Amino acid sequence: MTSQEQTNNASGNQSVKGGRIVAGIDGSPVSLMALEWAARQAEYTDSSLEVVAAWEWPPVSVGRSFPMATIRA
């Protein structure tokens, strides 16, 4: 038998014990709710929980940005 053991839960569906659950978060309220669900599910199924954080890098400018000076002749 492998480290993952299939069992029947109360609703008759099969669940895997000892598996892996991955949750991605970005700091939004919805992603934090998903993380809470994933933590409960990992505990319920005796699974490991891996959390992946994601964010978007802010735009980067090279050097300093100055408004164009008006050239007068």
Is the per-residue pLDDT at 6 higher than 90?
no
Number of domains observed in the structure of the chain: 1
Question: Between 72 and 9, where is the model more confident?
Answer: 72
Residue 34 lies in a domain: yes
Q: Is residue 31 part of a domain?
A: yes
Q: Is residue 72, in this structure, part of any structural domain at all?
A: no
For the chain, what is the mean pLDDT? 78
Is 4 among the domain residues? no
Q: Quick check: is 29 in a domain? A: yes
pLDDT score at 21: 96
Residue 2's pLDDT is what? 43
Is residue 73 included in any domain, yes or no? no
pTM confidence score: 0.56
Buried b (16+ CB within 10 A) or exposed e, 30-65: ebeeeeeebeeebeebebeeeeeeeeeeeeeeeeee
| pLDDT at residue 12 in the model | 61
Q: Write out the residue range of the structural domain in which residue 27 sits.
A: 21-55
pLDDT for 1: 34
